[in-house]
Amino acid sequence: MKISEFPSAVIQENVEYTVKEITNVIKKYGPRESGNEACFDAQKHLKKELDQFCDETHFEEYKMAPKAFLHFTKLVAALVLASIVICLALVFTNVITFFVAHCIVGICVAIGLFITAMEFLMYKQFMDGMYKKVTAHNLVATRKPRGEVKKRIVISGHIDAAYEWRPILYLKDKGMGLWLGLAIGSAVISLIIAIICVIANFADMGAFGDFMLDYSYYFNVITAISMILLFTFVDFSRISPGANDNLTGTYAAVCALRMLDMAGVELENTEVVAMITDGEEAGLRGAKAFAQEHKDEYLNSGVETAVLCVDTLTDLEYLNVYYKDMTGTVKNDKEFSELVKQSAADAGYDSAELANLFFGASDAAAFSQAGIKATCLAAMDPAPADYYHNRRDSYDRLVPEAIETGYKTVLATIFNFDAK
């Protein structure tokens, strides 16, 4: 089947259904922090819906530490800030020299940057052992083909919502760059200064070396201020409503199967799976757990499998396929990404590009890291959008036109994957 042959009334009904359902989920279940009961309750609500038009649905449990991913911002900020302040006090009381202070601060900054790289750039579960773990769930629903399963396409969306990010709440698109840029930039400069001072202490660098040893420590006052900002970056007491990020992606997965059922479409040999993950906002924990659990099945069973992760269908002018993921460090499958891009064109949107997710990551990266064919479809202003990870991301900001285009693209991807 081609997307041009699919009944448009079914798509329109599902867009209207989505808007009503997202509004209902937000009002009924409240903040969906990664791994909390509200997330699971919302997933159980979705399971009841999926049971009506799927051949099989089930939950898969896993353990995760929801605060481990972003709480590092407070740990790193506290470590570096404390080292700067304490060392300055010890210098002024003649307990240590500026050289020793530089060494201590440099070590603390290096540790902080390493933790940041592990957690925020590479999404390693580096700090999990320090935090309480909870039981979380992935919801899996399957629509089987008429005949033997020879292909499998998984449409995935995460149901958890993010902790509120204060820079975007208060300063919108300028906030995150300023907040993180100052914190990371000043920390890197402090580390460079510490390295220069170590060299100057053991090698004759003339007047420049003397200046660095005697006066450069005061630059760390700027770093200390930036660490105060970093400490306040995430508000762990407030959860975004998560209407666009990512109930739109969640319902893209649900409605993919619902639309096939409503239109009476049965594929011959392609199994279609909807997967609703938890823990994406906690560092892709749910997708990582699922990818590891199903890696052998998806890679070695003889069934060609591809995963399309849908994450935020709002800003239509930014509808893209994210071929490069995890701040550009992970490449999603090029061939499948091209297929999704072509599917968007088939659905009537020919402006989609193969884009680079230059900040953050999608669940697709977790599958790509496991060697499973995957890519991400998203429509969000990468500036980022003013509703990203804050209280503005509620049901009053839904954009039906973007949801409709996203749904058409998802359906076209299913049909094109089945036909290829």
The confidence band for 176, taking pLDDT boundaries of 50, 70 and 90, is confident
pLDDT in tens, 359-401: 889 999 999 999 999 999 999 999 899 999 999 999 999 999 9
pLDDT of residue 121: 83
Phi (first) and psi of residue 347, to 5 degrees: -80, 0
- Long-range contacts at 124-132 (CB < 8 A, ≥ 24 apart): 125/65, 125/68, 125/283, 125/285, 125/288, 127/65, 127/68, 127/69, 127/71, 127/72, 127/75, 128/64, 128/65, 128/68, 130/65, 130/68, 131/65, 131/66, 131/67, 131/68, 131/71, 132/65, 132/67
Residue 122 pLDDT exceeds 90: no
| DSSP codes of every residue in 375-416 | EEEEE--TTT-TTTTSTT-SGGG--HHHHHHHHHHHHHHHHH
Helix segments in 282-393, DSSP class H:
285-300, 334-346, 363-369
The H-or-E segment that residue 235 falls in is strand 234-239
What is the Cα–Cα distance from 227 to 288, expressed in whole angstroms?
30
pLDDT of residue 7: 98
pLDDT of residue 84: 98
Q: What CATH number should be reported for the domain whose range is 3-66+134-162+240-419?
A: 3.40.630.10
Lookup: tokens for 306:
């591809």
Lookup: tokens for 214:
């005697």
Mean pLDDT of the chain: 96
Q: Are 147 and 65 in contact (CB under 8 A)?
A: no
pLDDT in tens, 259-286: 999 999 999 999 999 999 999 999 999 9
Distances (CA, A) of 62 to 140, 186, 192, 328: 13, 38, 41, 27
Domain ranges of the chain: 3-66+134-162+240-419, 72-122+169-235
Residue 322 pLDDT exceeds 90: yes
What is the Cα–Cα distance from 332 to 325, expressed in whole angstroms?
7
389: nearest Cα among 120, 189, 169, 207: 169
pTM score: 0.95
The distance from CA 304 to its chain's CA centroid, rounded to whole angstroms, is 26
Q: Are 157 and 253 in contact (CB under 8 A)?
A: yes
pLDDT in tens, 179-234: 989 999 999 999 999 999 999 999 999 999 999 999 999 999 999 999 999 999 99
pLDDT of residue 328: 85
| Percent of the chain clearing pLDDT 70 (strictly above) | 100
- Residues 99-115 have a mean pLDDT of 97
What is the Cα–Cα distance from 352 to 361, expressed in whole angstroms?
19
What is the Cα–Cα distance from 62 to 368, expressed in whole angstroms?
20
24: nearest Cα among 405, 397, 395, 418: 395
What is the Cα–Cα distance from 313 to 352, expressed in whole angstroms?
13
